[in-house]
Chains A and B, each alone.
Chain A
């Protein structure tokens, strides 16, 4: 216990994991939280956080880092740079790489690459099914032993109900959650956007809300029957939110996340025919957006996650039905949450930070998301007032497929520490 001490002073420390909301100093030593408001000591480094929020390091439990296999879109190096620039100290990456993350070696590869990049913590979500084919279970036990924190076939749903049931049952042994991208393929087939008035006008094939809600209901029933842990990824419909709310009320082990684009944008955006508004699940109509926001407010939705899905410009600059689904989100999420949830009074700072720290940490079972004494000193210092304009040309992500280019936002990460080390702002920057 003789490493250099860091004092983050004068900020408003908000840590929902211990019900903390106070102005004061956070002390860090040897990469861990040492305590609060301790007397100053010789040689400590002082980071002035006056006027800022000091939060446990933010966690994004749903990102696509694309490596291995699609390095033209993103790499673990660029994706984690984007993460820390956006204020995240931990991300959980999805297994829809090429090859998919369905083997201990693949999990180890990602962990090694992340360690080499030395930006933020990277947790691996491994495949539910071998080769992500939806046919038979992947080696979930060995994957868990290799460090996988959760299981998902994201990119695609676990379509087969029997396989989903087995996954819930099998994951009980390892106390791991199953994260599902809920979408009935035959209902969503050929769809490009939300099915509704706008798709009708534009003549674009629609993905009905029921394509999601039906599978959410199925998964809730299976989780209830097996006692398994279900986490519903990127919830976007009234039916899903209502089903999750009811399930929680009767004690089903279900959690859920919403993405920033699903609480800020509607399907009206597709009138531009811009593929940066094409994602899956699609941008929904106003009523669905309102319900997602209600779910965030009343706690039905536990987590805000980005579903950061980088795609190179060449892939996105195509006809709308050929362009891939997905948008980047790591570098805009915090600003969108501050501007569109906190400032309008939909969520308090405490609620918002909870959904980006301790809640995802609990779901994934990782020792993060808290500033408790002795915890890893992952800290995000947020300037809540700073106004900035989203400039996709300045993203650290390798891709710039954002629907928010040109938006003016308030709130941004000022300083980010991972285990006591300042990882943002970048030291090499001029």
Chain B
């Protein structure tokens, strides 16, 4: 335990940001610090060390303007395991419904003496707006289709722990790339760490423009299957789409659902991820989601470790 704390402190000394807004602006070195820190928390968890007092006396607020079960719970657990107090703020029951602006809401919360705001919002850039207007730490828990840095990190941590490396791997992100913040955070993180990334999905959701981010694009899952090491199956975000990007769910399933048949044509050690919540039978069938190649539940466990790392590094740095 003492050894682990010493390692954690060493890592923290290499981190200098007050906020975690996205992976695009981070260096490979900074992403490495986050992953190494998260890995230590995961190892501690596996060794039965579930409680730390690294953030005792600190208060975190979950400021969620979009529904979320997994991410909010994950951040809450992470904060509590570090010894911090956690307050949940739900947009629907707040004065936002009385017309207060998001900045005023956050400033009011800050005046109550908090150390970090974890924000989820449907509009890209809202965490950045808050970061410009608040003194406390701001963590982006998903801003529209822009970024979801802790999701990207937990996906990457899961790959690194399962396959032992990131550099040189071919990772395919499949599905609703256009509306996916998870895709964007994964792309930035994976590219910086040396992976080859393919975005794959229907041409209404994947465009050649993505090449300008340094990734390959493909419309055919079947064509890329034999050469990928990791498949990350993204949820179809019906709620964000202005119009239906494909004629029917059945047609989508026929082209992109990861099922047992397609699994036969992959590399032997293929790793299947899904950021969830998954639409069973749409992006992935039950046999694949629950099969031996799937790391879906491992991702959730790693999620808590990643959020512990993120909270500790940014709050520790602000203090």
Q: Using CB atoms and an 8 Å cutoff, list the residues of chain A in contact with chain B.
A: 189-190, 196-197, 200-205, 273, 314, 317-322
Give chain B residues whose Cβ lies under 8 Å from the Cβ of A321. 122-123
Q: A190-B242, A318-B101 are in contact. Are A203 and B210 (CB under 8 A)?
A: no
B122 — which chain A residues lie within 8 A by C-beta? 321
Distance from A215 Cβ to chain B, minimum over Cβ atoms (Å) = 19
Given A319-B126, A320-B125, A203-B102 contact (CB < 8 Å): no
Closest Cβ of chain B to A90, distance in Å, is 37
Residues A273 and B128 in contact, CB atoms below 8 Å apart: yes
Question: Would B126 and A203 count as touching, CB distance under 8 A?
Answer: no
Residue numbers in A under 8 Å from B126 (CB-CB): 319-320
Contacts of A201 in B (CB 8 A): 24, 184, 213
Q: How far is the CA of A379 from the CA of B62 in the complex (A)?
A: 59
Provide the bound-state CA to CA distance between A306 and B129, in Å.
27
B124:A202 contact, CB within 8 angstroms: yes
Residue on B with the closest CB to A190?
A: B242
A189 and B209 in contact, given A204-B144, A273-B125 (Cβ under 8 angstroms): no
Pick the residue among B124, B207, B213 that contacts A203 (CB under 8 A): B124
Closest A residue to B121 by CB, please name it: A319
Distance of B284 from chain A, by nearest CB (Å): 23
Residue from the list A200, A203, A317, A320 in contact with B101, Cβ < 8 A = A317
Asked if B181 lies at the interface with its beta carbon under 8 angstroms from chain A, I say: yes
Q: Please name 16 pairs of A and B residues whose Cβ atoms are closer than 8 Å in the assembled complex, sorted by A.
A: A196-B209, A197-B212, A197-B213, A200-B209, A201-B24, A202-B124, A203-B147, A203-B181, A204-B146, A273-B124, A317-B103, A319-B102, A319-B121, A319-B123, A320-B123, A320-B125
Task: Indicate if the CB atoms of B209 and A204 lie closer than 8 Å.
Answer: no
Within 8 A of A (CB), among B119-153: 121-126, 128-129, 143-147
Given contacts A273-B125, A273-B129, A317-B103, contact A203 B212 (CB under 8 A): no
- Min C-beta distance of A363 to chain B, whole Å: 36
B146–A319 CB distance below 8 A = no
A313 vs B264: C-alpha distance in the bound complex, in angstroms?
Answer: 58
Q: How far is the CA of A320 from the CA of B24 in the complex (A)?
A: 19
Q: How far is the CB of B187 from chain A (nearest CB, A)?
A: 9
Alpha-carbon distance A189/B241, docked complex (angstroms): 11
Identify the closest chain A residue to B183 (Cβ). Answer: A203
Structural contact, A203 and B242, CB atoms closer than 8 A: no
Extra contacts, 17 of them, besides A319-B129, A320-B125 (Cβ < 8 A), are A196-B209, A197-B209, A200-B209, A200-B210, A201-B213, A202-B124, A203-B124, A203-B145, A203-B184, A273-B129, A318-B101, A318-B102, A319-B121, A319-B123, A319-B125, A319-B126, A320-B126
A204, closest chain B residue (CB): B124
Whether B143 contacts A203 by the Cβ 8 Å rule is yes
Q: Which of B121, B128, B210, B242 contacts A189 (CB 8 A)?
A: B242
> Complex: how many Å from CA A319 to CA B101?
9
A202:B242 contact, CB within 8 angstroms: no
Contact B123–A322 (Cβ < 8 Å): yes
Q: Report the interface size for chain B: residues with CB under 8 A from the other chain.
A: 27
Instruction: A51 to B207: give the CA distance in the assembly, Å.
Output: 54
Please classify the interface of chain A as helix (H, G, I), strand (E, B), loop, or mixed, using the class held by over half of its residues: loop
A205 to B129, CA, bound (A): 18
User: A189 — which chain B residues lie within 8 A by C-beta?
Assistant: 242
| Complex: A223 Cα to B147 Cα, angstroms | 45
A320 / chain B contacts, CB cutoff of 8 Å: 123-126
Give bound CA distance, A200 to B183, whole Å: 11
CA distance A273 to B178 in the complex (A): 19
Query: Which B residues lie within 8 Å of A190 (CB)?
Result: 242
Question: Do B207 and A200 have beta carbons less than 8 Å apart?
Answer: yes
- B102 (CB) vs chain A CBs: closest residue: A319
Residues in B neighbouring A319, C-beta threshold 8 A: 102, 121, 123, 125-126, 129
- Give Cα distance in the complex from A320 to B209, angstroms: 23
Kindly list chain A residues whose C-beta atoms are within 8 Å of the C-beta of B143: 203
- Interchain CA distance A118-B213 in the complex, whole Å: 54
What CA separation (Å) do A196 and B210 show in the bound complex?
10
Give bound CA distance, A190 to B184, whole Å.
20
Residues of A within 8 A of B128 (CB): 273
Give the residue name and chain of the B residue nearest to A322 (CB). B123
In the complex, what residue of chain A is closest to B128 when comparing beta carbons?
A273
Would you give the shortest CB distance from A283 to chain B, in whole angstroms? 15
Contact with A along B207-229 (1 / 0, CB 8 A): 10110110000000000000000
Across the interface, B144 reaches (CB within 8 A) one of A196, A197, A203, namely: A203
**B242 / chain A contacts, CB cutoff of 8 Å:** 189-190, 205
Shortest Cβ distance from A186 into chain B, in angstroms? 9
Bound-complex Cα distance A422 to B134 (A): 46
Nearest-Cβ distance from residue B180 to partner chain A, whole angstroms: 8
Beta-carbon nearest neighbor of A191 in chain B: B242
Report chain B residues within 8 Å CB of A203: 124, 143-147, 179, 181, 184
Contacts of B145 in A (CB 8 A): 203-204
A203–B210 Cα distance when bound, in Å, is 12
Complex Cα gap A273–B179 (Å) = 18
CB distance from A395 to the nearest CB of B (A): 22
Q: How far is the CA of A197 from the CA of B207 in the complex (A)?
A: 10
Q: Which A residues touch B184, using CB under 8 A? A: 201, 203
**With A and B bound together, what is the CA distance between A196 and B207 in angstroms?**
10
Bound-state CA distance A399–B143 (Å) is: 29
1/0 contact string of B236-272 vs chain A (CB within 8 Å) = 0000001000000000000000000000000000000
Closest to B207 in A: A200
| Distance of B23 from chain A, by nearest CB (Å) | 12
A198 to chain B, nearest CB (A): 10
A184 CB → nearest B CB, Å? 13
**Minimal beta-carbon separation of B61 from chain A (angstroms):** 18
